[in-house]
Structure 1
Amino acid sequence: MPRPSRKTLLTGLIALLCCGALLAAYQWFQARYLRPFDERAALFSGAELRLPDELAGPGPIRLVHFWDPACPCNVGNQQHLAELFEQFAHKGVTFHVVRKPGSTAPLPASLGSLEPLPQLPGSDQLPASPAVAIWDRQGQLAYFGPYSEGLTCNSSNSFIEPILEALAAGRTVNASNTLALGCFCDWQAGDD
């Protein structure tokens, strides 16, 4: 059997090094930028959650979206939130966003119509995101929890449309403590 030439060995060695470098780069990228997510349970308790003073009290229905720019669970949620804005903004609902502490990424274009807010009193206790809080016209917390249950969020499995419809019709809603199973990312600032 003939021995491989020096050129063949060199080419094979370069190919092997390139494959190793690509594998190392992929593992670095995955560890740095991709967060694993799966369906898990989260308990949302709105007992301490408050609106900032300038929004507190009677006024429009206020929806506050808790947004973590690095959370992969946002993929379907952002489209759903844009649809909620189109459907309910003309019904007297104002839309706001609170960014995860420590995050600096700009809002995506689909969320550009949301008014940014500072951290809300009590939002440091948020267990996970994506999450939403809704205050009624009297300034009472009506709902605090996820948009839906499960790995994806859309209008067919969302809790939000029925709550906003009820509040817009003047009915009372009190669902400020919620246990849900879904796609969530940790909210606390050090949980990246």
Structure 2
Amino acid sequence: MSNARALLLIVVVCVVSAGMVISLLTNFGRVAIPFIPAHADATADTSILRLYSPFDNGTGKIEVIHFYLPDCDCNQQSAPHIDSLITQAEQDVSHRIAIPAGAGDIAFSWVRARYPDTDIRETLLNPVSAPSLAIYDKQGQLRYFGPYGTGPACIQPSPDYFPQIIEAIRNGTFYGRLINTGVSGCFCRWPPAKRP
């Protein structure tokens, strides 16, 4: 191998390696943030913990609310979880997507295009961070609230984690509620509601 080729190969390897290191530092340094920031106003930001569903659930179904920010990069990590839950939904489970009040027509249209058969609504509730979800039982009682996963890549412990929670709610063996907010991962801050 000539010296010019060897030098070119070394330069290419260095550039690619530097790009990978910068990407890792940028992504992992930026995304591993607390779900509930230390400066959050606990009284305003925990409105999701109310014991009724933010949607009028008179259907007698288990309700899963996906809190979704259309312009949040972290949706890339949560999209497989959302897609899997929605496609595996059974007759007694209702999936709905909540976007921030005042998000606008473009955001609503984008989410509608991605999830065409899912009920999508704006909400005044502030879950603090997204992507996240809330699961309500058939009586409208909150049973789970928190993220889809934790850590920089927001990987959940098992693909069956939320289906198992839903099944336990269905058969009456899930007691109390699980509020999973003391974690870090890839989250975006839920914006304050834009009232008309």
Partner of 1:180: 183
Distance in 1 (alpha carbons) for counterparts of 2:56 and 2:68: 21
Q: Deviations over 1:76-112 (max 9, x none)?
A: 312221111122x225110001112332312164422
Partner of 1:71: 72
Q: Which has the larger radius of gyration?
A: 1
Asked if 1 retains the 8 angstrom alpha-carbon contact of 2:154 and 2:186, the reply is no
* Matched length: 150
Distance in 1 (alpha carbons) for counterparts of 2:99 and 2:174: 28
Distance in 1 (alpha carbons) for counterparts of 2:151 and 2:162: 14
1:117 aligns with 2:121: yes
Asked if 1 retains the 8 angstrom alpha-carbon contact of 2:154 and 2:185, the reply is no
- AA aligned to 1:103 is A
Measured on the aligned residues, the alpha-carbon RMSD in Å equals: 2.7
| 1:23-62 equivalent positions in 2, closer than 5 A | 37-43=30-36, 45=46, 46-48=48-50, 50-52=52-54, 54-55=56-57, 59-62=60-63
Asked if 2 retains the 8 angstrom alpha-carbon contact of 1:149 and 1:157, the reply is no
Gaps of 5+ in 1: 1-35
Q: In the superposition, relative to structure 1, how do residues 107 and 49 fare at CA in structure 2: closer, same or farther (>3 Å)?
A: farther
Partner of 1:26: none
Partner of 1:12: none
Q: Give % identity.
A: 30
Asked if 1 retains the 8 angstrom alpha-carbon contact of 2:66 and 2:97, the reply is yes
| 1:1-192 equivalent positions in 2, closer than 5 A | 37-43=30-36, 45=46, 46-48=48-50, 50-52=52-54, 54-55=56-57, 59-87=60-88, 89-104=89-104, 105=107, 106-107=110-111, 109-119=113-123, 123-124=125-126, 126-153=127-154, 156-157=157-158, 159-173=161-175, 174-176=177-179, 178-189=181-192
Runs of 4 or more consecutive aligned structure 1 residues displaced over 3 Å after TM superposition: 43-46, 153-159
Distance in 2 (alpha carbons) for counterparts of 1:155 and 1:38: 15
Secondary structure in 2 matching 1:170: coil
Gaps of 5+ in 2: 1-28, 37-44
Secondary structure in 2 matching 1:99: strand
TM-score by length of 2: 0.65
Distance in 2 (alpha carbons) for counterparts of 1:59 and 1:101: 26
Q: In the superposition, relative to structure 1, how do residues 161 and 179 fare at CA in structure 2: closer, same or farther (>3 Å)?
A: farther
- AA aligned to 1:133 is A
Secondary structure in 2 matching 1:134: strand
TM-score by length of 1: 0.66
Asked if 2 retains the 8 angstrom alpha-carbon contact of 1:64 and 1:133, the reply is yes
Distance in 1 (alpha carbons) for counterparts of 2:168 and 2:102: 35
